[in-house]
Amino acid sequence: AQSVSQHNHHVILSEAASLELGCNYSYGGTVNLFWYVQYPGQHLQLLLKYFSGDPLVKGIKGFEAEFIKSKFSFNLRKPSVQWSDTAEYFCAVSSNNDMRFGAGTRLTVKP
């Protein structure tokens, strides 16, 4: 069965710092990749997704993620975080109608 690993459980940054959250998956076939975000008190919502084409995907609020097939990775990045980016971030991998989520990374941005 496929699995998704997010190695950072809690990341604390100051505003304007750069962000990179790791996501690795274990599955050898064709996959579709997602990052979801859950802001405090809000629902999980889609941040960005990759299905095919350019492996560098841009999402909302200045986030981007790069699919590196050889490393089975789909890391999330943002060049300069804001206090409003404080949230929990979940990586997800879907293949053959089987979607698996990572454990999530809690991001705290200090003003």
Under the binding rule (CB under 8 A), the answer on residue 103 touching another protein is yes
Inter-residue long-range contacts of 22-26, CB under 8 Å, 24+ positions, other chains counted: 22/73, 22/75, 23/65, 23/73, 23/74, 23/75, 23/76, 23/91, 23/102, 24/71, 24/72, 24/73, 24/74, 25/72, 25/73, 25/74, 25/91, 25/93, 25/100, 26/2, 26/72
The count of chain residues that interact with another protein, using the rule CB under 8 A, is 26
Q: Which of 14, 18, 82, 96 binds another protein (CB under 8 A)?
A: 96
CB of 11 to another protein, least distance (A): 15
Chain-centre distance of CA 33, in angstroms?
A: 9
Region 32-71 residues binding another protein, contact defined as CB under 8 A:
32, 34, 36, 43-46, 49, 51
Considering the complex, state which of residue 49 and residue 77 has its C-beta at the smaller distance from another protein: 49
Considering the complex, state which of residue 24 and residue 94 has its C-beta at the smaller distance from another protein: 94
Q: Which residues bind another protein (CB under 8 A)?
A: 4, 6, 9, 31-32, 34, 36, 43-46, 49, 51, 90, 92, 94-104
